[in-house]
Structure 1
Amino acid sequence: MRLAEIKGEYDGIFSLGELCLSSIQLERCGLRPFAGPLDWMSTPKLADVNRLLENRFDGFMDRDHLTYVDHASDKLLLVKENVYNAFSNHDFFVHRNTPALLEDHSAVKLKYERRAARLLDKAASAKRLLFVRCGGSMEEAIGLQKALSGLVSHEYRVLLVNHTDVATLTETAWPLERVCTVELPGHPDVIWKGNNAFWDTMLSGIGFKESL
């Protein structure tokens, strides 16, 4: 699938990680109408996201899934969701949580349940959805397409962005019916802001409309 084939209006747009970069770029371009469950988490392996979608977020962020890893900063704890290999560094504030107890867990869990329920509701009812993911192999992209086809009732598209040693926006056009794959320059100095013009190009011609 080519970039031209993902243009148009969508009833829902969701980030699927890998870091918060996808959400940041969607928000910067005015294409983040609501929060999704993976917006601000680290999900290093797309295969784990595929499994999470296949399981419809069952058990995601349950207390017995969580392990303190480190301090993400002087304000936040880094916590791992062990079953789905996801990392939270925006949820557990140091002044309200200890590594052993994670006192805010109940509120954090409810937040993720709400966001997961929103994604699942849109998957069941929306006529056209767009998912944006940074990072994934062709094998994982095939798995993502399979997972989403089992979850989404109507039409959807995926924009999968890999950061490599390319010098400019490059369409890789893997032979997938619903997944558009591209490569962007992957130098640490450009990933977060230096590629903004490329994101503008990729997301131009895409809009959000409220479902009827």
Structure 2
Amino acid sequence: MRIADIKGKYDDIFSLGELCFISIQLEKNGIRPYSGVLDWVGSPSLSGVNRLLRNRFEGFMDRHQMECIGTAGEKLYLVQDKTYDIYSNHDFFIAQNDPNLLEAYPSVKAKYDRRVARFLEKVDTSERLLFVRSGGTYEEVEQLQQVLDDLVQNDYVLLFINAVGSDGLEENDWPMERVCSVNLPTVDKLWGDSDHLWKELFEGIELRK
């Protein structure tokens, strides 16, 4: 698929990770109405995300697989879901949690359960969805398309972003029916002055009212 092929209206748009800059840019461009499951966590392993979606989030963030492995800045702990290799870096404040007890866990888990329920409802009922993912191999993206084919009941498009250090926005001709693959600058630059590239990428993409 080409960028021109993904223009149009969607019932909903979800980030599938790897980092928060996708959800930030969806919001800046007015096409993110609420937080998704993977908006504010680190999900460096696309294979882990594929398993998570294939399992319809079964066991996601269950207490026995949550482990504090360090800090995420001065105020927050970095907590890993060891089953799916997903990292919470916005949920457990150091001032309010012991790293072993994680006292905020019940409220954090309830928040993610609500987001999971909404996501699953949307993939079951929406007529057209857009998913955006950065990070992963060609083979992992092929697997993701297969997972989404099984998970999503109606039409969808996957926009895959390669942060490979291109000078601007470049399209790839990947032979996948539902995947639009693009190259963008490195991750460091995507955190910086890249708003114009995201605006170009998302131009013509709208949420249905």
Report TM bin, short chain.
over 0.9
**SS of structure 2 residue aligned to 1:48:** helix
Question: Match for 1:85: what amino acid?
Answer: D
The answer as to 2:135 corresponding to 1:135 is yes
Once the two structures are overlaid, the 10-residue window that deviates more, 28-37 or 192-201, is: 192-201
Q: Which runs of 4+ in 1 moved over 3 A?
A: none
Question: Match for 1:208: what amino acid?
Answer: L
Tell me if the contact between 1:163 and 1:184 (Cα under 8 Å) persists in the aligned partners. yes
Q: Tell me the CA shift for residue 195 of structure 1.
A: 2.0
| CA offset digits 1:115-136 (Å, max 9, x no partner) | 0111100000000000011112
Q: How big is the alpha-carbon RMSD for the aligned residues of Structure 1 and Structure 2?
A: 1.0
| CA offset digits 1:109-167 (Å, max 9, x no partner) | 11111101111000000000000111121101111101111110000001110111321
Tell me if the contact between 1:35 and 1:115 (Cα under 8 Å) persists in the aligned partners. yes
Using the alignment, how far apart are the partners of 1:72 and 1:177 within structure 2?
A: 38
Match in the other structure for 2:206: 207
**SS of structure 1 residue aligned to 2:49:** helix
The answer as to 2:151 corresponding to 1:151 is yes
Q: Tell me the CA shift for residue 173 of structure 1.
A: 2.1
Using the alignment, how far apart are the partners of 2:14 and 2:49 within structure 1?
A: 13
**SS of structure 2 residue aligned to 1:75:** coil
1:174-185 equivalences under 5 Å are: 174-185=174-185
Q: Tell me the CA shift for residue 169 of structure 1.
A: 0.9
Tell me if the contact between 1:50 and 1:147 (Cα under 8 Å) persists in the aligned partners. yes
**Number of aligned residues:** 209
Match in the other structure for 2:7: 7
1:180-199 equivalences under 5 Å are: 180-186=180-186, 188=188, 190-199=189-198
Question: Match for 1:171: what amino acid?
Answer: E
* TM-score normalised by length of structure 2: 0.97
Using the alignment, how far apart are the partners of 2:167 and 2:61 within structure 1?
A: 38
Using the alignment, how far apart are the partners of 1:183 and 1:169 within structure 2?
A: 6
Q: Tell me the CA shift for residue 187 of structure 1.
A: 6.0
Using the alignment, how far apart are the partners of 1:45 and 1:77 within structure 2?
A: 20
Match in the other structure for 1:73: 73
Using the alignment, how far apart are the partners of 2:197 and 2:137 within structure 1?
A: 21
Match in the other structure for 1:84: 84
1:161-176 equivalences under 5 Å are: 161-176=161-176
Tell me if the contact between 1:65 and 1:81 (Cα under 8 Å) persists in the aligned partners. yes
Question: Match for 2:109: what amino acid?
Answer: K
Using the alignment, how far apart are the partners of 1:41 and 1:187 within structure 2?
A: 16
Using the alignment, how far apart are the partners of 2:47 and 2:173 within structure 1?
A: 20
Q: Tell me the CA shift for residue 95 of structure 1.
A: 1.4
5+ residue gaps in structure 1?
A: none
Match in the other structure for 1:104: 104
5+ residue gaps in structure 2?
A: none
